[in-house]
A = this chain, B = another copy of it.
Amino acid sequence: MVKQERALRTREALIKSAAAAFDGEGFSVSSLTVISRRAGVSNGALHFHFDSKAALAGAVEEAAAQRLGLITLRGEGEPGTALQSLVDVTHDLARMLRDDEVLRAGFALCGDNAYATSERNLRLQWRKWVERTLERAEGEGGLAEALAPHDAVVAVVAATVGFEVLGSQDSTWLSYRTLTQFWQLLLPRLASPSTLGRLRAEGRDDVGAPRAAGLSS
C-alpha cells in the first residue's frame, strides 16, 4: 500500500471511530484516546490528521454532509416528480440514519451545544433541499391549490427532524412503516388531486423497504 493510500485509510478509520463515539456518548464526553484506539491507530497518528477534537468533528460533519448530498441527489433532475422524490428521499434518509453512524453523528452534532459551529449544519442542508424540492413541486403544478409551499416545508422539516432525533434512541421512528404512514397522512394535504393519484407513500421501487438478508447493498 502506498503511503498516501494508507494515510487516507487511517483518516477514514478515525472518522468512523469518532462518529461512533459522538453518536454513542456525545461530542464532549468522547475521548480522543478511545477514538484512536478503536480505530486501531496511535494517538500520534490521530494528531497528525486532526489538530483537535473539533477538527475531527468537522470531518465527521463533512463526511455526513457528503452522504446527505448523495441521498438528496437522487431527487434532482427528473421532471414532474418532485413530490415523489421528496417521499423517496425521506425513505432513503431514514434507512441511512438507521444504518450509518457517520450520518447519524453528523445530524447529532448540529444539536450539540458543546460543539458550537454554524459553518456546516446538516439540518439546515436538509431544510434547504426540502425547500427547493417543494418549490419544484409547485412549479410543476403538483401542489394542492390552497397550499402555501412554506407551510409544507415547515411541517415536513419539523417531522423529519423529529424522526431523526427520536430515532436516535428508538429506531422504530425511522422504520419504513413509520415513514409510509406519515406520508399517507400528509400527502393528501400537499398534492394536487391529479398528482395524488400517482404518488406512492411507500416510495418508488420500495427503496426504503426492508431487504432480505444478504441482498442489501
A residues apposed to B, CB below 8 Å: 23-26, 28-29, 108, 111-114, 123, 147-148, 150-152, 154-155, 157-163, 165-166, 168-169, 173, 178, 181-182, 184-186, 188-189
CA of A150 to CA of B28 in the docked complex: distance in angstroms?
36
Residues of B within 8 A of A165 (CB): 111, 161-162, 165
CB of B29 within 8 A of CB of A114, answer yes
What are 12 inter-chain pairs, A to B, with CB distance below 8 A?
Answer: A28-B28, A28-B114, A151-B182, A151-B184, A154-B178, A154-B181, A155-B159, A158-B159, A158-B162, A158-B182, A161-B165, A185-B189
Known: A28-B114, A158-B163. 6 other contacts (CB 8 A): A111-B165, A111-B169, A147-B185, A151-B182, A161-B166, A186-B189
Residues of B within 8 A of A148 (CB): 181
CB of A25 within 8 A of CB of B157, answer no
Query: In this complex, what residue of B is CB-closest to A180?
Result: B151
CB of B182 within 8 A of CB of A113, answer no
Majority-rule SS of A interface residues:
helix
CA of A29 to CA of B112 in the docked complex: distance in angstroms?
11
Residues of B within 8 A of A25 (CB): 113-114
CA of A148 to CA of B180 in the docked complex: distance in angstroms?
13
CA of A213 to CA of B42 in the docked complex: distance in angstroms?
59
Query: In this complex, what residue of B is CB-closest to A178?
Result: B154
CB of B166 within 8 A of CB of A123, answer yes
Indicate whether A182 sits within 8 Å of B166 (C-beta atoms), given known contacts A28-B114, A114-B29: no
Residues of B within 8 A of A113 (CB): 23-26, 29, 108
A60 to chain B, nearest CB (A): 15
CB of A111 within 8 A of CB of B114, answer no
CA of A213 to CA of B35 in the docked complex: distance in angstroms?
51
CA of A154 to CA of B113 in the docked complex: distance in angstroms?
27
CB of B185 within 8 A of CB of A188, answer no
Query: In this complex, what residue of B is CB-closest to A29?
Result: B114
CB of A188 within 8 A of CB of B189, answer yes
